[in-house]
Amino acid sequence: MDAAKDIIDRWENIRGRIVQSARNCGRNPEEITLVAVSKTHPARSVRVLAQAGHLDFGENYVQEALDKQEELADLNMRWHFIGRLQSNKAKFLPGRFHLIHSLDRVKTAQALDHNCAKHSVVQAVLLQVNLAGEDQKGGIPEADLIPASREIDALPGLDIQGLMCMPPFFDDQERARPFFRRLAQLRSQLENELGHALPHLSMGMSGDYPAAVEEGATLLRIGTSIFGARDLN
């Protein structure tokens, strides 16, 4: 199946480039997790990659993610929720996702915590930070990060494990680098404020992941460079 072979070839190429980027800056490639962003791509394409041994997959839309989880339940997979999260969808997430990358409001955190209690689970989350102040993107404004993080960190059903960002789109990855560097700085500040480690930085996508690796990313969200153009039909 040519389509399947193309997916595997692209995946192997990206993995190799991540390893090289890590080694070039003196990092251990094993510290970096590739999250294959499978949103809008059919479950059959996701299955190809999972059967090849890939573990981590990212989805943006709750219902699409739940449908794929059901269809691919026979496979060993870790699901990441990376899309904008609404409070009314929080009831569907606890226990269904290895990590939620995109928590960006205290109200949503409270709704998620409430539903975690119902399921007796502790949900690992990242706080999304809107470093560029783009209205169309989610994320906690940088000025609000510390007070919001204190409130969220106090919720027993949530385990903050780090930060996530989505810089503006640039043709040159070097223009994204300052945003990655700033997120790493904020992570260090927040560790001091909260008094515990925040091991993860979710940053870097198909067009800028080498710079993200160099600035300390532990989670790379890459879709198009693996699955090809999005299937919008």
**SS3 breakdown of the chain: % helix, strand, coil, rounded to 5?**
45, 20, 35
pLDDT band, residue 30 (cuts 50/70/90): very high
> Mean pLDDT across the chain, nearest whole number?
94
Strand partners, 80: 58, 99
The model's pTM is 0.95
Strand partners, 81: 59, 100
Tokens 């059959």 label which residue?
44
Q: What is the largest CA-CA distance in the chain?
A: 52
pLDDT tens digits for range 106-163: 999 999 999 999 999 999 999 999 998 777 788 999 999 999 999 999 999 999 999 9
* Chain Cα centroid distance, residue 72: 20
Share of the chain above pLDDT 90, in %: 90
CB 50 within 8 A of CB 76: yes
Domain boundaries, the chain: 2-224
- Specify the 3-state DSSP secondary structure of 121: coil
Tell me how far apart the alpha carbons of residues 97 and 123 are, in angstroms, rounded to a whole number. Answer: 8
Tell me how far apart the alpha carbons of residues 68 and 79 are, in angstroms, rounded to a whole number. Answer: 10
Provide mean pLDDT across the span 34-44: 96
What is the CATH architecture of 2-224? Alpha-Beta Barrel (3.20)
- Specify the 3-state DSSP secondary structure of 176: helix
